Structure formats: structure tokens, C-alpha cells
């Protein structure tokens, strides 16, 4: 897994860590342009595009869990099985960077966002979660203290309905979390220049 991850920025004495997680059937390289923008925006951050562990069920790219035959009923179970490996990878990069959860931001697209969000329901992996075109597998059950949630979602996303981000923000706020969403007009399941700007704002 680690050999396929891409370190985009590794400044001496990094004071923060930004881990970026791709979508299913994709690869770390697909997030490199956005990661470079994040690195320029956060020059003291180590920025890594992390590779998911398993080959995609559809023959191209990588995945944290298979979406073949996925349903609302079985999605949560598949994510629960994948979370230990996800958490271990976050911890490994934190150890390498010398940065703890308080200095870590997770930026995920699609399945990468799902994993980042669901990780917060079992632990406190980072201080900030930026979920792009993602969702919780089920409505959030807890709001970890001090964790900031930022959602970016295309209004016209045909893969993951933006209503999942909107409802997640409502639920997180009701639980006491700092959560907000930017919906990008006309954008489908992807990241355009507007979404990239929103990610930079969300990263802080």
C-alpha cells in the first residue's frame, strides 16, 4: 500500500499533515494536481496522496471496499471491515510526519471521503475532515470533540446525491460539531476549479 502512495510535499520540520484519499477505481496520481495546490496553500504541511489497499473490483485503480453489489444495507458492514486498515494508514503517515491527529487534515473524494467520515465515528483520526462528493454510510452517530467537518459537493452529482452532504451537516450540527457544506452549482461527480477552490478554503 505504502509504495503506491505519493508524497507531494515533505517540508523540513512539517507542522501539519494533509492526507488525501482517492475514489474507488482511481489512484493517488489523480489527486496530485489538487494536492499540489494544497501544498502551495499550506507550505508547512506534509501532503500525501494515499493509495487504497485493494485492486478495484472493476479492473482499474484501487479501492478501500468493493462497490460491486453494494446496497444501503451492506455498505456499512463493508466500511467497518475496511476501517482498521484505513486507520492504520493514517497513523503510519502521522508517525512518519511526526504530526498527531490535532495537526492532521483528511481530504477525501467519493470513497475516500466516505472512509474519512466514517473513521470519525470510531476514533478521532484528525482535527479536520474535508469530504468531497462523499457521504456517511449511515447518519453520523457522534461528533468527536474538536473535529471540524467541511463538505464540498456537486449540485448535479449523479453518483452520490448532494443531499447526503446536506443532511450530514444538519446531523453533525445537531450533535454539536462545527460542520458546513459548499454545494457547487452544475457540478457532477468530480472536482472542477470551483470545487478545488472550495477545498483550499476548507483545508484552512
* Active-site annotation holds for 157: yes
Q: In angstroms, rounded to a whole number, what is the distance separating the alpha carbons of residues 98 and 150?
A: 24
**Dist. CA 23–CA 111, nearest whole Å:** 5
Block residue for cell numbers 446525491: 161
Catalytic-role residue among 41, 66, 167, 189:
189
Helices (H), the chain: 32-41, 75-97, 111-119, 163-174, 193-203
Strand partners for 19: 48, 106
- State the Cα–Cα distance between residues 183 and 197, nearest whole angstrom: 12
Would you mind telling me the total number of residues written for the chain in this entry? 204
Respond yes or no: is residue 54 known to be catalytic: no
Question: Which set of grid coordinates corresponds to residue 163?
Answer: 443531499
- Name the DSSP class of 102: G
Candidates 56, 110, 116, 165; catalytic one: 110
Residue 22 annotated as catalytic: no
Cβ atoms of 54 and 62 within 8 Å: the answer is yes
Report the alpha-carbon distance of residue 85 to residue 53 in Å, rounded: 8
> Alpha-carbon distance 9 to 191, whole Å?
21
List the catalytic residue out of 116, 153, 157, 165: 157
Catalytic residues: 110, 157, 189
Amino acid at each position: 500500500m505504502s509504495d503506491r502512495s505519493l508524497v507531494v510535499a515533505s517540508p523540513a520540520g512539517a507542522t501539519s499533515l494533509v492526507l488525501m484519499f482517492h475514489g474507488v477505481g482511481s489512484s493517488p496520481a489523480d489527486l496530485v494536481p489538487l494536492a499540489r495546490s494544497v501544498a502551495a496553500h499550506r507550505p508547512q504541511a506534509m501532503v500525501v496522496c494515499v493509495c487504497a489497499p485493494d485492486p478495484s473490483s472493476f479492473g482499474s485503480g484501487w479501492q478501500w471496499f468493493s462497490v460491486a453489489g453494494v446496497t444501503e444495507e451492506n455498505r456499512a458492514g463493508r466500511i467497518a471491515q475496511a476501517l482498521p486498515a484505513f486507520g492504520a494508514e493514517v497513523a503510519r503517515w502521522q508517525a512518519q510526519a511526526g504530526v498527531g491527529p490535532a495537526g492532521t487534515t483528511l481530504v477525501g473524494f467519493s470513497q475516500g471521503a466516505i472512509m474519512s467520515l466514517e473513521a470519525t465515528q470510531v476514533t478521532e483520526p484528525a482535527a479536520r475532515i474535508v469530504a468531497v462528493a462523499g457521504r456517511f454510510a449511515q447518519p453520523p452517530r457522534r461528533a468527536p470533540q474538536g473535529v471540524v467537518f467541511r463538505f464540498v459537493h456537486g449540485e448535479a452529482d449523479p453518483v452520490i446525491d448532494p443531499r447526503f452532504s446536506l443532511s450530514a451537516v444538519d446531523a453533525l450540527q445537531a450533535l454539536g460539531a462545527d460542520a458546513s457544506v459548499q454545494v457547487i452549482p452544475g457540478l457532477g461527480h468530480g472536482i472542477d476549479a470551483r470545487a478545488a477552490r472550495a477545498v483550499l478554503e476548507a483545508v484552512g
